[in-house]
Amino acid sequence: MKLLLVGGGAREHALAWKLCRERTVRELVCAPGNAGIARLARCVPLDVADPGAILDAAAREQVDFTVVGPELPLARGVADVFAAAGRPLFGPRKAAARLESSKVFAKRFMERHRIPTARFRVCETPADALAAVGGGEFGFPVVVKADGLAAGKGVTVAPDRETAEAAVRAAMVDGRFGAAGASLVIEECLTGDEASFFVLCDGRRGVALPSAQDHKRALDGDRGPNTGGMGAFAPSPLVSPALAGRVMADIVQPVLDGLRSEGQEYRGVLYVGLMLTRDGPQVIEFNVRFGDPEAQVVLPMIETDLAPVLFSAATGDLGAAESRTAGDPHVGVVVASGGYPGAFETGYEIDGLDAAEALPGVVVFHAGSGLRDGRIVTSGGRVLTVVGRGGTFAEARVRAYEAAACISFPHKHVRTDIGMKALAAVDDGAA
């Protein structure tokens, strides 16, 4: 197959790294790609927010199959555009993609289909939202979520009433998230450990991939502001085979069956953000694409060819497909620009990439990187994800951090505790 891969982050680099080495893929084109992907595939310019432009690129390149990485084109209906044109694409249609693009839709859908999740209230006006957080219905901390896509910045876990009210005003009065904050979900704050669960779906059934855990806060010890993710590890020691089976039975299958009963088939990857509570796994959120940085540690674990499985899911027939995975732990450390997720500078030359990639059991995925005069420079907040593989989590961590230490640019920022939760869970016998 000739494939078009849409996107330009570390998630897409991980997908390109996986796909380009498979026997069923004769050529891979990425749009728009990045400096790392350009070493694996031909990159072409593209506005990923424009479904029509993506279709034009697929037709122009005469690709057999298109794989979409980020959520925005899916939320804007790229799968519908491709279906109308008779071209296969991996990713759910716009109506099903509301599981991520609308928190209100997702919560009401879970309520309708009895999928375990936190108690919530939907608020359409500032007055309703302020009353919800001020009335003590859910206690504190309380979670305030913007309804729409807000680049990972639309969720506030408010420890007190003052913080909750400030979050409401920022979204609904100040318009910090634009139309995405016109409606809010106010919900109880669940307690427990978080895990990420990924399933390839053909509309009727799903094939589970390795679980993972990520680190969202900018600073060690889960302090500082929320980010898109500062690192991840896989598989999660907290997700046993029995728990995975429960998630498939109590969450994933009801999602697929529920969407079908409402006239939709979910074809693509379903990301289930879980809170592992005393009462069992509950859904924090859904994503309709691979997570980032989780994809960077999950995809290298898959030993079977991925492209034919994605194609089977996209065309509605996974059949007896399964994913064979390596059990070796993977730890991914994000190398970021200083100041991220706030203000940061770009354009710095990145040194040490060759030395990092030469280390055994290491792969480096690019996100915010670009080319200038033939040199690789920083171009974003999250610049790289450095992944180490080892026989244990301890070994994987050592490899990831040894490689990250090889890489340098001004104001580089790295958390030093990525994967420590895995070591603690293993020590506690969670697996």
pLDDT, residue 418, reads: 98
Which tokens is 230 given?
A: 């500062």
142: enclosing H helix or E strand: strand 142-146
With a CB cutoff of 8 Å and minimum separation 6, the contacts of 194 are 213, 273, 274, 275, 276, 284
- The owner of tokens 């907290």 is 238
Cβ atoms of residues 197 and 181 within 8 Å: no
Q: Is 14 helix (H, G, I), strand (E, B) or coil?
A: helix
* Residue among 211, 232, 377, 226 nearest 293 (CA): 232
- The owner of tokens 């979900």 is 185
Cβ atoms of residues 364 and 386 within 8 Å: yes
For residue 426, count CB atoms less than 10 angstroms from its CB and return exposed for 0-12, middle for 13-18, buried for 19 or more. middle
For residue 105, count CB atoms less than 10 angstroms from its CB and return exposed for 0-12, middle for 13-18, buried for 19 or more. middle
pLDDT, residue 431, reads: 41
How far apart are the C-alpha atoms of 385 and 343, rounded to whole Å? 20
Cβ atoms of residues 133 and 168 within 8 Å: yes
Supply the DSSP string of 203-236, one letter for each residue: SS-EEE---BEE--EEEGGGEEEE-S-SEEEES-
Which tokens is 333 given?
A: 């450390």
The CA–CA distances, whole Å, from 324 to 96, 238, 311, 315 equal: 27, 20, 17, 21
How far apart are the C-alpha atoms of 49 and 38, rounded to whole Å? 21
Instruction: Tell me the average confidence (pLDDT) per consecutive run of 10 residues in the chain, 431 residues long.
Output: 97 98 96 96 96 98 98 97 98 98 98 97 96 89 94 86 95 94 96 96 96 96 91 97 97 98 97 96 97 97 95 92 86 98 96 98 97 95 98 97 98 98 76 41
The strand pairing partners of 363, in sequence order, are 387
How far apart are the C-alpha atoms of 113 and 2, rounded to whole Å? 39
* Residue among 226, 93, 54 nearest 153 (CA): 226
DSSP annotation of 380: S
With a CB cutoff of 8 Å and minimum separation 6, the contacts of 99 are 92, 105, 106, 109, 255, 266, 270, 286, 287, 288
pLDDT, residue 162, reads: 95
Rg (CA), the chain: 21
Helix extents (H) in 346-392: 353-357
How far apart are the C-alpha atoms of 309 and 312, rounded to whole Å? 5
How far apart are the C-alpha atoms of 86 and 70, rounded to whole Å? 22
With a CB cutoff of 8 Å and minimum separation 6, the contacts of 351 are 407, 408, 409
Tell me the pairing of strands 42-43 and 27-32: parallel
How far apart are the C-alpha atoms of 414 and 336, rounded to whole Å? 6
Please enumerate, as own/partner, the contacts of 110-115 that have beta carbons within 8 Å and a separation of 24 or more: 110/283, 112/258, 113/254, 113/255, 113/257, 113/258, 114/254, 115/250, 115/251, 115/254, 115/255, 115/258, 115/283
Helix extents (H) in 122-252: 126-134, 161-172, 241-247
* Residue among 172, 167, 173, 170 nearest 183 (CA): 172
